[in-house]
Amino acid sequence: MSAFHLQDLLVQAAAQFPERTFLFQNEIVITYAQAARKVDHLASGMLARGVRAGDRILIVMENRVELPLLTLAAIRIGAVFSVLTAQITAESFQRIVGQCEPALVVLEARRPELREGLQAAVVWLDGEPAARDHSYEAFEQGERTEIPLSGGGDALAFLVFTSGSTGMPRGVMLSHANVGFVTKAIMQRLNYQETDRLALLLPMSFDYGFYQIFYALMSGCAVFIGRPEMVGPELPRILARHEITIVPGVPTLFAGLIKMQSYRPAMLPHLRLLTNTGDHLPLPHIRQLQQLFAAARIFPMYGLTECKRVSILLPEEIDAHENSVGCALDGTEVWAESPEGQRLPPGEVGEFMVSGPNVSLGYWRAPEETSKRYRTLANGSRLLATGDYGAVDAEGFLHFHARSDFMIKHRGHRMSPVEIEEAACRSPRITAAGCIKDETQNTLCLFLACHGDQPDDAALFTELAQHLERAKLPDRLIYLAELPRTANQKVDRKALRALLTQEA
């Protein structure tokens, strides 16, 4: 039996769903069969320009239909790709270039400054290439050649760059086997259908956004290529216009959807599935989504780039396990561990450890950081120390507390900002919350976004006191029109700290 290759997903989808829509954006509609042909031409173009199996390809662009086609072409020839945020700074880009030494870089015409100093060949979208560069159209319309299949199994498929503990970007290495296993395990619980229409509003540089392409290939559904800026007042109408059935999101996206749908409701009879990861979805928001979209199934999930998905809570489990993020994926194991390395009994809080085929290969060219987070067990399975804290109950349900970077020590207590933020979101007026500590003033600060008039502070403190211990009550409430977000649309706690610094 040959090793799994990600190319198999496209080959099988094109054979099973040839005339079904795969990707659509604006007036562009691409079927599965058309996508397979375009990918072959793009892959032939890459080979013609000297790109070979194992070479790195960097792609910097907004969400657009060309992006998944380029990544699938890289997979086709066994090259290792990485999708970078369209907002990347020139400095961060050069750091990644230095690490990857790419053979090919794909850029949009609006980012010409990223070309400076590059030794790699460049493919341009929407612009006239210089003499040594190429246009996307030349790749897509070029002659198709024989393409040898390379990679598969434990071979590296792509890199997802995250911020390292030193501030340097580090590339999480995902193999074909990693992605094949976790995609199948996730689909066993989410069960996308070929009749589904998915709204991809998260950036594809965010692995949660990009993996939607693999889920589509496995199920045959259609993917609407949207953009993060669509998550605003017109979002419900966009979902209605395109008859969207699936919305993968993060808490800020769902908070905005709740706000818009509460004030300017749109009929969304097709919506059947909402999935959340990237940050904790407050229980009050889950309840509001259930009220607004009674026919939709809501899946709170927990994961991190280093192993993609850790757990999924099924809709029918929410009432009995309100504060859980679900059970570990089938074929994996998760437990909480003490600082001394002992597996903790049910209910005790420790660092989550994950073992299974979903655990990635480590960090690109960073053996020291890899050794800190990854281990190999006696049975040969890889183990990931997540750096996240929580507990696993007697039934196997995970209860997430906080990522280690965000844990707060205040008034002699170690606490999770998630608990405080969730308590704030119980107020129907609060749409988003972000809790941080001002170390210079030794104060606990709670940033809030709300719809309508700003709540009375005293009344809100009274509400918070009903759900939080005295030591966890914030010292300050700070209201913003919107909370700052990262490129992946999560609440940006670093930006909140910066706001406090500016105050000082």
Instruction: Give me the CATH number covering residue 441.
Output: 3.30.300.30
Which residues, 6 or more positions from 396, have their beta carbon under 8 angstroms from its beta carbon? 327, 328
Same domain, 383 and 458: no
Residue 297 lies in a domain: no
Q: Which amino acid is at 127?
A: G
Residues 6+ apart with CB under 8 A from 348: 336, 391
| Total number of domains in the chain | 3
Structure tokens at 146: 């024989």
Residue 56 lies in a domain: yes
Rounded to the nearest integer, the mean pLDDT of the chain is 91
Which residues have C-beta within 8 Å of that of residue 215, sequence separation ≥ 6?
183, 186, 187, 190, 192, 198, 221
Helix (H, G, I), strand (E, B) or coil at 471: helix
pLDDT digits over 77-103, tens only? 999 999 999 989 898 899 999 999 999
Give residue 405's pLDDT band: very low, low, confident or very high (50, 70, 90).
low
DSSP symbol at 317: G
Residues 425 and 382 in one domain: no
Tell me the range of 2-11, 123-132, 353-362 where mean pLDDT is highest: 353-362
Amino acid at 363: Y
Point out which residues pair with 353 in neighbouring strands.
335, 385
Is the pLDDT assigned to residue 164 strictly greater than 60?
A: no
Contact yes or no for 318/276 (Cβ under 8 A): no
Give strand pairing partners of 174.
158
d(CA 363, CA 36): 31
Domain assignment of residue 459, yes or no: yes
Residue 455 in domain: yes
Same domain, 353 and 443: no
Asked if 452 and 386 sit in the same domain, the reply is: no
364 with 489, same domain?
no
pLDDT of residue 1: 42
Mean pLDDT of 100-119: 94
Last residue of a domain, one of 376, 406, 436: 406
Quick one: pLDDT at residue 494?
84
Which range of 100-104, 280-284, 410-414, 463-467 scores highest in mean pLDDT? It is 100-104
- List of residues 6+ apart from 50 with CB closer than 8 A: 103, 121
DSSP state of 491: B
In a domain, 249, yes or no: no
Are both 43 and 129 inside the same structural domain? yes
What is the model's pTM? 0.86
At 213, list the tokens.
């392409």
- Provide the residue range defining the domain that includes 32: 7-175
- How far apart are alpha carbons 123 and 45 in whole angstroms? 10
| Residue 143 and residue 38 share a domain | yes
End-to-end CA distance of the chain: 64
Looking at the domain assignment, is residue 228 inside a domain?
no
Task: Assess whether 399 and 420 both reside in one domain.
Answer: no
CA 58 to CA 111: how far, in whole Å? Answer: 14
CATH number at residue 378: 2.30.38.10
One domain for residues 458 and 392? no
Strand 21-25, strand 222-225: pairing? parallel
The pLDDT of 461-480, averaged and rounded, is 86
Whether 237 is in a domain gets the answer no
Last residue of a domain, one of 175, 200, 231: 175
pLDDT of residue 504: 58
Q: 32, 17 in Cβ contact below 8 A?
A: yes
Whether residue 115 sits in one domain with residue 157: yes
* DSSP conformation class of 229: G
Domain of residue 93, CATH code: 3.40.50.12780
SS3 call for 107: strand
Return d(Cα 434, Cα 226) in angstroms, integer.
26
- 441-457: string of b/e by CB count within 10 Å (b at 16+)? eeebbbbbbbeeeebee
Which of the listed residues 381, 406, 431 is the one where a domain comes to its end? Answer: 406
Cα 178 to its chain centre, rounded Å, is 16
The confidence score (pLDDT) of residue 104 equals: 97
The CA distance from 21 to 449, in Å, is: 38
> Sign (positive/negative) of CA torsion 185, 158, 1, 194?
positive
**Is the same domain home to 387 and 464?**
no
Instruction: Specify whether the CB–CB gap between 208 and 184 falls below 8 A.
Output: no
| Residue 471: predicted pLDDT | 72
Residue 257, CB-side half-sphere exposure with 13 Å CA sphere: 30
- Looking at the structure, do residues 370 and 411 belong to the same domain, yes or no? no
Q: Is the pLDDT of residue 166 over 60?
A: no
**Inter-CA distances, 343 with 163, 334, 338, Å:** 28, 10, 6
Mean pLDDT across 409-421 = 74
Does any domain span residue 238? no
Q: Label residue 33 by pLDDT band (50, 70, 90).
A: very high
Using an 8 Å Cβ cutoff, are 7 and 76 in contact? yes
